[in-house]
């Protein structure tokens, strides 16, 4: 993805959409201090550049019966690029894995896994994850509670203004 130069208005738009992705274009434009048509053009440009990757609803896992969150630290036998890609593709097909990050260091990947209960996670662990090709070890860490959930990134609205690209 090509890095786009963002001015103060772009950063304001990003901060507001990150907080409330359902904000109307009129409200977004008002908060950014511009009229609606250029605001919509800026949002579309941010989407087309890949800066805005998408919009989604933030759903409470417990409301759908997913009462357990586990972070699985996964070690692989081989770190050859083809083996890493094969693992990533396999994990991508598992709906209970909500996040997958490749790490540098002792652990090759960390997975955020949701399950209905501990028994459901253990079935996933033994039937899928540890049984997967190239997986040598898994260390599971049960999340006790979540004390912060803030998607996105910090946006410094008042940072050094950069000229916006047309």
The residue extents of the domains of the chain are 8-48, 61-142
- Residue count of the chain, please give it: 166
Architecture of domain 61-142: 2-Layer Sandwich (3.30)
Q: Summarize pLDDT for 25-66 with one digit per residue, the tens.
A: 999 999 999 999 999 999 999 999 999 999 999 999 999 999
Q: Summarize pLDDT for 80-137 with one digit per residue, the tens.
A: 999 999 999 999 999 999 999 999 999 999 999 999 999 999 999 999 999 999 999 9
Q: List b or e across 66-96, with b for residues whose CB sees 16 or more CB atoms inside 10 angstroms.
A: bebbbebbbebeeeeeeebebbeebbeeeeb
What is the rounded average pLDDT of the residues 151-160?
86
What interhelical angle do 36-48 and 8-19 show, nearest 10? 80
> What pLDDT was estimated at residue 166?
40
Q: Taking the chain, what is the end-to-end CA distance rounded to the nearest angstrom?
A: 17
Residues 6+ apart with CB under 8 A from 55: 17, 21, 22
> What pLDDT was estimated at residue 3?
66
Same-fold call for 8-48 versus 61-142: no
Q: In whole angstroms, give the CA distance from residue 30 to residue 12.
A: 11
Ramachandran sector of residue 135 (left: φ over 0; alpha: ψ -120 to 50; beta: rest): beta
Instruction: Please determine, for residue 138, whether its predicted confidence score (pLDDT) is greater than 60.
Output: yes
As a CATH number, domain 8-48 is 1.10.10.10
């Amino acid at each position: 993805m090509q890095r786009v130069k963002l001015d103060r208005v772009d950063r304001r738009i990003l901060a507001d959409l990150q907080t409330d992705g359902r904000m109307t274009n009129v409200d977004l434009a008002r908060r950014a201090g511009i009229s609606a048509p250029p605001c919509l053009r800026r949002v579309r440009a941010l989407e087309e550049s890949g800066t805005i990757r998408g919009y989604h609803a933030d759903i409470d896992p417990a409301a759908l019966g997913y009462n357990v969150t586990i972070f699985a630290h996964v070690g692989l036998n081989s770190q050859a690029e083809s083996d890493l890609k094969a693992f990533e593709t396999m994990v991508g097909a598992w709906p209970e894995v909500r996040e997958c990050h490749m790490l540098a260091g002792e652990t090759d990947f960390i997975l955020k896994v949701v399950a209905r209960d501990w028994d459901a996670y253990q079935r996933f662990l033994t039937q899928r994850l540890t049984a997967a090709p190239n997986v040598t070890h898994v260390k599971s860490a049960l999340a006790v509670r979540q004390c912060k959930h803030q998607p996105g990134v910090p946006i410094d609205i008042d940072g050094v203004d950069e000229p916006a690209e047309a």
